[in-house]
Structure 1
Amino acid sequence: MHLNSSEYEANGYEIYCDFNNKNTLKVSNSILKQLDQFDYSTNRGLLDTNETPLYVVKNNKVDAILIEAGFISDDSDLYYLKNYTKNIATAIAKGIKKSLN
């Protein structure tokens, strides 16, 4: 998990994963659905690491994804990230659990 920042107006959460890997795509979609239910920010969707290579995801020996949980430069995102960390973590955990069923 990571937090975004931008000098421009931006907010929301997104997940980077390998679209060619059915396991990471499945868990990423499941996590996004759970974050959508918590409804704390904008769903910026899934991003394919084949188009936007990220070392931490592409050069990992195990299946990996990167969750950008929000923008610390956005007041609303920052509020939820500070005050509802447990809710966000629970949504991510539920997404992982549901993807395993």
Structure 2
Amino acid sequence: MTLPNAADLRRQLNLDPDQEDNAFLSAKLAAAAGWIEAYVGEPLAGLDPFPAAIREAILQLAAHLYENREAVLVGMSASELPFGVVDLIRPYRVWSF
């Protein structure tokens, strides 16, 4: 298993497979992977085998970044879903004191 790509994110978002926004989708994936890598505390590329939970977390976070392109949502009431991004990646976090 490897890091997700633009085609994977397109499927996650139920987008038309013929859409030509690979660069934009790839940027969202890179941002999501970077955030998760910082949270976990180690390079994701070094994980072997690559955990399915981290792959899912990257897709969830990248989809969120794609759907919510601003830092603030106005007029929305929301709550975090159980087993969201942080719940998926928490077991892989490297703790240091």
User: TM-score over 0.5 for the alignment?
Assistant: no
* Higher strand proportion: 1
**How does the TM-score come out when normalised to structure 2?**
0.28
TM-score, scaled relative to structure 1: 0.28
**Which structure carries more relative contact order (alpha carbon 8 Å, separation 6+)?**
1
